[in-house]
């Protein structure tokens, strides 16, 4: 929990900074486990239920482990009209998972968001921190195949 200490120290151990603290922790660990949230609650002297209601309110917090590749599909208006639903369907078909799920082999986690600020390049798919613009069913199929091949 060394990283937890440094993140809490960065925000002065203040409960007013709960959201940025939780964002930093998610960045560090990839997701927010119940154990981690309990630890934060204890250290900041807030109730576990207060933290839990916060992390369930904001869709951006992840309460389950993520796969090796976090695939984020933008479903904002610009991406939507340019074919993002078809791209999403193809990812679901290839991976066998739905939005918010992780494959059994922990290779992929799929999530959707509304606009990542790169509308001109839509539809956008982000794999971990790498942006892939102007995606289509064919391009995303190749992308998924490449990720599978890398991990055989
Ligand atoms: S709508 Fe997808 S990046 Fe803006």
pLDDT over threshold 80, residue 2 = no
Q: What is the pLDDT of residue 18?
A: 92
Domains of the chain, each with CATH number or no CATH: 2-57 (no CATH), 69-150 (3.40.30.10)
The set of protein residues with a Cβ atom below 6 angstroms from ligand 1 is: 74, 76-79, 115-119, 122, 124
pLDDT beyond 80 at 1: no
Distance in Å, CA 82 to ligand 1 centroid: 10
- Per-residue pLDDT for 115 more than 90? yes
Across 80-107, average pLDDT: 96
Cα of 78 vs centre of ligand 1, distance in Å, is 5
The pLDDT mean for the chain works out to 93
Position 26 scores a pLDDT of 93
Among 118, 121, 125, the mutation site with the greatest number of ligand 1 atoms within 8 A of its Cβ is 118
Query: For the sheet containing 130-132, what is the strand order?
Result: 108-113, 69-74, 125-127, 130-132
Average pLDDT for 118-131: 96
- Chain segment 38-47, per-residue pLDDT in tens: 999 999 999 9
Q: How far is the CA of 73 from the centre of ligand 1 (A)?
A: 9
Q: Do the strands 108-113 and 69-74 form a parallel or antiparallel pair, or are they unpaired?
A: parallel
pLDDT value of position 119: 97
**Which atom of ligand 1 lies closest to the CA of 123?**
2
Q: What is the number of other CB atoms lying within 10 angstroms of the CB of residue 148?
A: 14
| Distance (Å) from CA 114 to ligand 1 centroid | 7
Where residue 12 falls among pLDDT bands split at 50, 70, 90? confident
Helix or strand holding residue 143 (H, E): helix 137-150
């Amino acid at each position: 929990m060394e990283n937890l200490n440094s993140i809490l120290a960065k925000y002065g151990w203040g409960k007013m900074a709960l959201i940025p603290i939780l964002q930093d922790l998610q960045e560090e660990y990839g997701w927010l486990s119940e154990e981690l949230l309990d630890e934060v609650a204890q250290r900041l002297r807030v109730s576990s239920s207060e933290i839990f209601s916060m992390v369930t309110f904001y869709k951006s917090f992840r309460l389950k482990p993520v796969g090796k590749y976090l695939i984020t599909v933008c479903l904002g208006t610009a991406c939507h009209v340019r074919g993002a639903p078809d791209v999403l369907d193809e990812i679901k078909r290839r991976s066998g998972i739905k939005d918010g799920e992780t494959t059994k082999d922990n290779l992929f986690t799929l999530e959707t968001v509304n606009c990542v600020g790169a509308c001109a390049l839509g539809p956008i798919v982000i794999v971990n921190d790498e942006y892939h613009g102007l995606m289509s069913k064919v391009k995303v199929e190749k992308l998924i195949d490449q990720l599978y091949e890398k991990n055989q």
